[in-house]
Amino acid sequence: MSMELASYQKETVPVVSSASKWKKRIPYIIAYGVLGVTTLPIILMYVWLLVSSFSEKMKFGFLPVNFTVENWRFLWSNVEYGGSMLPSIWTATWNSFVFSGVLTILEVIIGVMAGYALARIEFPGRQALMKTTLLLHAFPSVALLIAVFYILNFIGLFDSLFGVVLVKTALQIPMTAWIIKGFFDDVPWDVEWAGLIDGCSRFKVWFSIVLPLIKPGIAAVSIFSFLSGWSEFLLLYTFILSDENVTLSSYLQKLLSDPNMVNYGLLSAVSLFYMLPVLLFFIFTQKSLMQVSAGGGKRV
Amino acid sequence: MKIELKNICKSFNTKSNTINDMNLTIEDGEFVALLGPSGCGKSTTMLMIAGIYKPNSGELYFDSQLVNQLEPKDRNIGMVFQSYALYPHMNVLDNISFPLKQQKVAKEERMERAKQAAEMVQLGHLLDRKPSQLSGGQQQRVALARAIVKKPKVLLLDEPLSNLDARLKIEMRGEISRIQKKLGITTILVTHDQEEAMTMADRIAVMKEGQIIQYSTPMELYKQPKDYFVAQFIGTPPMNFLNGSLSNHQLHLPNTIIDLKRRLLEHTDGDIDVHVGIRPHDLTVGSNGDVCVKGTVNLIEPIGHSQMVSLQVGNQQVRFFADLSTRIEYGSEIEISADISALHLFDPTTGKSLKQESAGKELIHS
């Protein structure tokens, strides 16, 4: 109590001595210090990646030797690795975009409808459904690999991007629906009722009044699903074999497949290339991403 | 449009009915208020009329057509919500014209009619704004314009004034009444503010725990409450109550005994306790009236044209109005009195009024 009072008085005094100014800054200095030390390794890793991609080799593992763009040759020519030609990076990039794009579209469409149903419509088994969907989300996808392989093989979608999109969508939907449900929960019933009274059907209200209100949620979910599609590796690596269906993450894996002959310069360059869209995406969509924490789920 | 509710029941769980066997008739062009404390089922009743909720049993008629299963969009109603429920992503003009758009009215006519409605609530200069850029009062007007733009048969108002400040409330109260009279539209107002209901409505249905306690004109509710609940709910400041007892048509109050005329009471036998109600306006300083009460002054509140005084009578409070010229001091003991006809007697167990209906009528007419 006396501490609080003292600091309150200090703030109201117009002239502040330099000693107390420093005292005030101490928490910030500590915070920045701790954060700086802990993030330093991560930043250094990225710096290393960038430097290594533009040099012939790294002396003692960290001193760059000779500037070169040779490591970036995959952009304009096909790369030979371990005696075989790797597929074009552009095929892989295109495939990654298609994979993430289709995933995003499917996820948003299904998630938006499922989320609305969970938030607003009373039906038997709603609670049970919501609990099991969460459980499903907690399920590790590795455990499902073999079963999924049999199913994909059976319906003829093995080694097809679309097949993996379906699997990934199914695994992502629970979380997406939950997040979207949180946003629907925040839309007041009054607005929906007003729409009904003003002459809309339930579907029309959903589409023309409620959906525009949860735009931030839709944005957040689309970004999340795009990013998770972009960084997906396990499912793509397991269920895609042919070179024309390769995606960037599998492409990267090909460069690492033989530990004895890894070209670290090339690997760094491809890694950076793979990261670039994600970085750009983050910069432009940061605000919408933050929205997710705003729309927490309420009604179970 | 005439609205009839017949034996309507609505429950949200199996334990109890939110609305219990309700009967209510609203005549064409009438302004009816549903008045009651929160949780008494008045909003539920309104949402059933709107078609948002479907009654569990009973019938709902619009102009003697059964509409129980009719969807809200087909009922031709306009509604103003307590939260206004404007569409935040549309500007004022789009908000107002939205109901017309759903009726597929041609764009030009739509804009024309929306502008007219906006003009009617004095919003003509704000058509391009988003709801978030408007003050509470302006949002309220948008909601009202949106409700009346399609010329509905019924206008539903769900606590439309409760989010406005006191001055704006009085202003909007007048405006809504004026528009309602002008359009001659059947209107239902849900409110917990008895003053709002009294000033605006033609008839008031006082509700309590899912039932209508009394349904009559504001003046009748005021002068002749049929129930203890109605008596203490209607009127500002509220009616004063004293505990008394009746025996052989004599009313015993803390320090007086009053001989009641036989015709004033419903027939009662033996000795019973009663709640004795007197409106503050019926009390005057001095002992000129038939019923005298003595008490100690414990609060004086000047309100401009007069002063409101609270007396401690036994362990009960009695409020009354005194002229500004009357000198009253804190702690002094004074005597106040009222006419015998101003008394309201209620059975404390059933809450029913013990006053004869005919006696009450006479009082109103005299």
Q: Which of the pair, B39 or B356, is modelled with greater confidence?
A: B39
Q: How far apart are CA A159 and CA B330, in angstroms?
A: 94
- Residue that has been written with the tokens 């804009």 in this structure: B111
User: What residues of chain A lie within 8 A of the CB of B146, using their CB?
Assistant: 194, 198
How many percent of chain B have pLDDT more than 70?
Answer: 94
Q: How far apart are CA A52 and CA A67, in angstroms?
A: 9
B211 C-beta neighbours (distance < 10 Å), count: 17
Which H helix or E strand runs over B344? strand B344-346
Contact B343, B354 (CB under 8 A): no
User: What residues of chain B lie within 8 A of the CB of A194, using their CB?
Assistant: 79, 81, 85-87, 146
Interface membership of B275 toward A (CB under 8 Å): no
Using CB atoms, pick whichever of A198, A201, A212 lies closest to residue B98: A198
Give the nearest chain A residue to B85 (CA atoms).
Answer: A191
**Alpha helices by DSSP H, chain B:** 42-50, 92-102, 107-120, 136-148, 166-183, 194-200, 218-223, 228-233, 357-365
Least Cα separation, residue B97 to chain A (angstroms): 10
User: Best mutation site among A120, A122, A197 for testing chain B: the one with the most B CBs within 10 Å?
Assistant: A197
Strands B307-313 and B291-302: antiparallel
How high is the pLDDT of residue B360?
45
- In this complex, do B71 and A201 lie within 8 Å of one another by their Cβ atoms? yes
The answer to whether residue B366 scores a pLDDT higher than 50 is no
Least Cα separation, residue A213 to chain B (angstroms): 7
In order, the DSSP letters of A118-175 are: HHH---TTHHHHHHHHHHHHHS-GGGGHHHHHHHHHHTT-TT-HHHHHHHHHHHHHHH
Q: How far apart are CA A38 and CA B168, in angstroms?
A: 57
Q: What is the mean pLDDT of chain B?
A: 88
Strands B3-10 and B57-62: antiparallel
Provide ipTM, 2 decimals.
0.84
Contact A70, A265 (CB under 8 A): yes
The answer to whether residue B194 scores a pLDDT higher than 80 is yes
Contact B187, B31 (CB under 8 A): yes
Q: Which amino acid is at B144?
A: L
What's the average model confidence in pLDDT over B260-282? Answer: 76
Sheet of B19-26, strand order: B19-26, B3-10, B57-62, B65-66
SS (H, E, C) B9-70: EECCCCCCCCEEEEEEEECCCCEEEEECCCCCCHHHHHHHHHCCCCCCEEEEEECCEECCCC
Q: What angle, 0 to 180 degrees and rounded to 10, lies between the N-to-C axes of helices A248-256 and A264-294?
A: 140
How high is the pLDDT of residue B250?
79
Sheet of B284-285, strand order: B284-285, B333-338, B291-302, B307-313, B316-322
Give the nearest chain B residue to A211 (CA atoms).
Answer: B89
What's the average model confidence in pLDDT over B289-306? Answer: 88
Q: Which of B13, B5, B36 is nearest to B192 (CA)?
A: B36
How high is the pLDDT of residue B269?
64
Least Cα separation, residue B52 to chain A (angstroms): 7
User: Best mutation site among B13, B70, B80, B89 for testing chain A: the one with the most A CBs within 10 Å?
Assistant: B89
User: What residues of chain A lie within 8 A of the CB of B87, using their CB?
Assistant: 191, 194-195, 209, 212
Give the nearest chain A residue to B97 (CA atoms).
Answer: A198
Interface membership of B79 toward A (CB under 8 Å): yes
User: What residues of chain A lie within 8 A of the CB of B77, using their CB?
Assistant: 197
Q: For each of chain A's 300 residues, which pLDDT tens digit applies?
A: 444 555 555 555 556 567 778 888 899 999 999 999 999 999 998 898 888 888 887 777 778 888 888 888 888 888 777 777 888 889 999 999 999 999 999 999 999 999 999 999 888 988 898 888 778 777 777 888 888 999 999 999 899 999 999 999 988 888 899 889 999 999 999 999 999 999 999 999 999 999 999 988 898 888 889 989 999 999 999 898 888 889 999 888 888 887 777 888 888 899 999 998 888 888 888 776 666 554 443 333
- In this complex, do B73 and A196 lie within 8 Å of one another by their Cβ atoms? yes
- In this complex, do B81 and A193 lie within 8 Å of one another by their Cβ atoms? yes
How high is the pLDDT of residue A180?
92
Strands B154-158 and B256-259: unpaired
How high is the pLDDT of residue B365?
40
Angle formed at CA A291 by CA A285 and CA A292, multiple of 5 degrees: 105
User: What residues of chain B lie within 8 A of the CB of A190, using their CB?
Assistant: 81-85
Burial letters for B349-359: b for 16+ Cβ neighbours within 10 Å, e otherwise?
eebebbbeeee
**Exposed/middle/buried for residue A95 (C-beta within 10 Å: 0-12, 13-18, 19+):** buried
User: Best mutation site among B81, B86, B100, B101 for testing chain A: the one with the most A CBs within 10 Å?
Assistant: B81
User: What residues of chain A lie within 8 A of the CB of B150, using their CB?
Assistant: 198-199
Q: 39-68 in B: which are within 8 Å (CB) of A?
A: 47, 50-52
User: What residues of chain B lie within 8 A of the CB of A204, using their CB?
Assistant: 102
How high is the pLDDT of residue A8?
52
pLDDT in tens, B51-68: 999 999 999 999 989 999
Using CB atoms, pick whichever of A198, A204, A209 lies closest to residue B99: A198
| pTM higher than 0.90 | no
**Exposed/middle/buried for residue A78 (C-beta within 10 Å: 0-12, 13-18, 19+):** middle
- Residue that has been written with the tokens 């109603």 in this structure: B77
Contacts of B273 (CB under 8 A, 6+ apart): B243, B244, B245, B246, B348
Q: 156-195 in B: which are within 8 Å (CB) of A?
A: 156
Q: Mapping DSSP to helix (H, G, I), strand (E, B) and coil, where does residue B339 land?
A: coil
Burial letters for B243-276: b for 16+ Cβ neighbours within 10 Å, e otherwise?
ebebeeeebbbeeeebebeeebbeeeeeeeebbb
